[in-house]
């Protein structure tokens, strides 16, 4: 079921989400199904549970077709479809990279955000299976963006150069589906 996406200004986006006690519970499976329906309907690259008003540490991101590319991020590397429950992130090395980000909770805007260039992440899926990966580039960026939502952080809070923050249709007039 497609759910409403909360927008910046809603205090629920600023809360710290709770760990999931039982990743295999049917209500978590139903939550994740709703998150995919909602993300796909909005052409998103990822979604965190608090964005649909559920304060649990669950994020989804990526594409089932590894060669698919999001029309909103046409230059981004493909990212495998991933469900991550109770994620933990560990930066690898001191390097940060700047890159453009948008957010379904901040529609119509884009900004350049510095993120760790490489990181290790781990979490579990709906079967409680451990997922552990070392990633870089757009994959690393998406994970950091989504997991920030679990700590009440929206990407504009990470912007350091506000000359690189503005309306998508003004800055990227040719971009497909540029309404968020
Ligand atoms: Ni977001």
pLDDT digits (tens, 9 = 90+) for 101-133: 999 999 999 999 999 999 999 999 999 999 999
Residue 97 annotated to the active site: no
Q: Which residue has the higher pLDDT, 70 or 147?
A: 147
Give residues whose Cβ lies within 5 Å of ion ligand 1: 103
CA–CA gap between residue 50 and residue 171 (Å, rounded): 28
d(CA 158, CA 122): 23
CB 80 within 8 A of CB 142: no
- Spell out where 14-70 has E strands: 46-48, 58-61
pLDDT class of 66 with cuts at 50, 70, 90: low
Distance 67 CA to ligand 1 centre (A): 22
CATH 3.30.70.100, applies to 11-171? no
pLDDT class of 149 with cuts at 50, 70, 90: very high
E strands present in the chain = 46-48, 58-61, 82-91, 96-101, 109-116, 118-124, 130-136, 165-167
The strand pairing partners of 88, in sequence order, are 122
Q: What is the distance in A from the centroid of ligand 1 to the CA of 107?
A: 10
Catalytic annotation, pick one of 15, 132, 134, 146? 146
- Segment 56-67 shows an average pLDDT of 87
% of the chain surpassing 70 pLDDT: 91
Q: How far is the CA of 27 from the centre of ligand 1 (A)?
A: 23
pTM: 0.93
Average pLDDT rounded to a whole number, residues 11-33: 98
Show me where the domains of the chain are located.
11-171
118 alpha carbon – ligand 1 mean position (Å): 19
Res 178 pLDDT > 60: no
């Amino acid at each position: 079921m497609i759910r409403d996406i909360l927008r910046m200004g809603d205090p629920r986006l600023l809360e710290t989400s709770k760990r999931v006690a039982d990743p295999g519970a049917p209500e978590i499976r139903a939550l994740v199904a709703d998150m995919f329906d909602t993300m796909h309907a909005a052409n998103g690259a990822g979604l965190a549970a608090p964005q649909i008003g559920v304060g649990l540490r669950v994020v989804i991101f990526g594409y089932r077709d590894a060669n698919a590319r999001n029309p909103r991020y046409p230059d981004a590397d493909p990212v495998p479809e991933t469900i991550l429950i109770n994620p933990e992130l560990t930066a690898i090395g001191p390097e940060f990279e700047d890159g453009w980000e948008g957010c379904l909770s901040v529609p119509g805007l884009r900004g350049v955000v510095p993120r760790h260039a490489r990181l290790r992440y781990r979490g579990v899926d709906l079967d409680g299976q451990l997922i552990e990966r070392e990633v870089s580039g757009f994959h690393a960026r998406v994970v950091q963006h989504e997991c920030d939502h679990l700590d009440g952080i929206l990407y504009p809070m990470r912007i350091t150069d506000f000359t690189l923050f503005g309306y998508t249709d003004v800055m990227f007039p040719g971009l497909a589906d540029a309404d968020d």
